[in-house]
Structure 1
């Protein structure tokens, strides 16, 4: 089994037992798999959106704002950072789409329909901390990605002991790639920021902990404590 201790140290809290108890109920298996498929697709789409937005290495103009830090960093990615960002996002998108296909195959074998699920609050809460001016919008977007990947990895590990053999094997197989994605996001954020992002990580960690530990009326893969 992949060592996920760096992820457990990074996340502000473990998944509450109440969520695991709810997730392991047979009647919630379809919800878990459909939402997992949704998350893999969203992760691929997010990576491709970053590639599209920053493919030239230039940042868009920050309307109506003037920030000394922004002026210091400038509005152009360093070539090494630009190429590293594009390569890692491309690789991540391909892997997430492959995982998406694997979840769809499992759903097909189990005759689980791909139904519409309402959006959870998790990503929306994290996104409230993203700054609106560049290059810090990109830095925060990458930090948010690190939290999403880290939490996904932690939940795969927490849920796997309660799953049937096929799903347990599949979820444990995802730990290696998801843990690498988390680190890739953080490494890119620090490179583009040009300094430690510990202060921003702390801000996102507080929001993430609230989303995970507070009561949540909408059960899904990244939801909080079932209300």
Structure 2
């Protein structure tokens, strides 16, 4: 909890996020905690799947699976933790219409290698960074102590996951190329979130 005590809304943003989450999103999320939890479970499942997808796509890439395999397992552990909390509240996982956030970011991933690899790492890292920021807000502001505790406990992992994708990029690409591309993707990510999605979602 010491990590959480150091956080407030002025310093939640990981530096590659070019915008801060709006009060409108926080108010929407706080009014719909169960729907946010359900969507969060789907986000963890998708994050594990994306890490696995990269392992299959770049099966012979030296040093990749050694990082992504533990990451995928940890994402699934988080998925299971959210499911357990939902069950304790008498709720269960259900299908939700996804917001456009992930699909719009995925469209920014270039098709030609090695740019596809770089963009895949950076998009995944951006999503982890945004998750960290929003979980931090929920850990601070949620009226439900179990939800606050869950998100407070996940924060270090979310920040570390961003760092892992950044490290994968640094090991394979020039720093100048990484930074210039991250700036472009960061601008796109911020624009996607300019308009609040009508349904409460982790990345609405």
| TM above 0.5 | yes
Match for 1:91 among 30, 55, 70? 70
What is the rounded CA distance, in whole Å, between the counterparts of 1:167 and 1:152 in structure 2? 15
Deviation at 1:203, TM superposition (A): 0.9
Task: State the match for 1:13 in structure 2.
Answer: 19
Which blocks of at least 5 consecutive residues in structure 2 are unaligned? none
Equivalent residue for 2:201?
220
Give the equivalent residue in structure 2 for 1:79. Answer: none
Which among 151, 161, 171 is matched to residue 140 of structure 2? 161
Residues 29-73 of structure 1, C-alpha deviation per residue, up to 9 Å, x if partnerless? 12101100000000000001111111112xxxxxxxxxxxxxxxx
Deviations 1:11-40 (A, max 9, x none): 111110000011101xx1121011000000
Bigger Cα Rg: 1
The one-character-per-residue Cα deviations of 1:160-216 (angstroms, maximum 9, x if unpaired) are 222211111110111111101001101111222243301110111111101122242
Which deviations, in whole Å up to 9, do the C-alpha atoms of 1:90-132 show, x marking residues without a partner? 1110100000000000010001121110111111111122110
Contact 1:126 1:207 in 2 (8 A): yes
Q: Residue 199 of structure 1 corresponds to which residue in structure 2? A: 180
SS in 2 for 1:192: coil
Supply the distance in 2 between the matched residues of 1:101 and 1:126 (Cα, whole angstroms).
26
Q: Report the alpha carbon displacement of residue 6 of structure 1 after superposing the two structures with TM.
A: 8.3
- Please state whether the residue corresponding to 1:8 is helix, strand or coil: coil
In 2, the alpha carbon distance for the partners of 1:168 and 1:207 equals: 30
Asked whether the 8 Å contact 1:136–1:193 carries over to 2, the reply is no
Matching residue within 106, 115, 127 for 1:148: 127
Q: Matches of 1:95 and 1:124 in 2, distance apart?
A: 23
Conserved 8 A contact 1:129-1:203: no
Number of aligned residue pairs = 196
Residue in structure 2 matching 1:31, options 27, 30, 35: 35
TM-score, normalization by structure 2: 0.91
Report the TM-score when normalising by structure 1.
Answer: 0.82
Residue 184 of structure 1: aligned partner: 164
Q: Take 2:56 and 2:66, find their aligned partners in 1: how far apart are those partners?
A: 12
Do the aligned partners of 1:152 and 1:222 also contact (CA within 8 Å) in 2?
yes
**Aligned-partner Cα distance in 2 for 1:202–1:191:** 19
Give me the whole-angstrom Cα distance separating, in 1, the residues matched to 2:174 and 2:73: 28
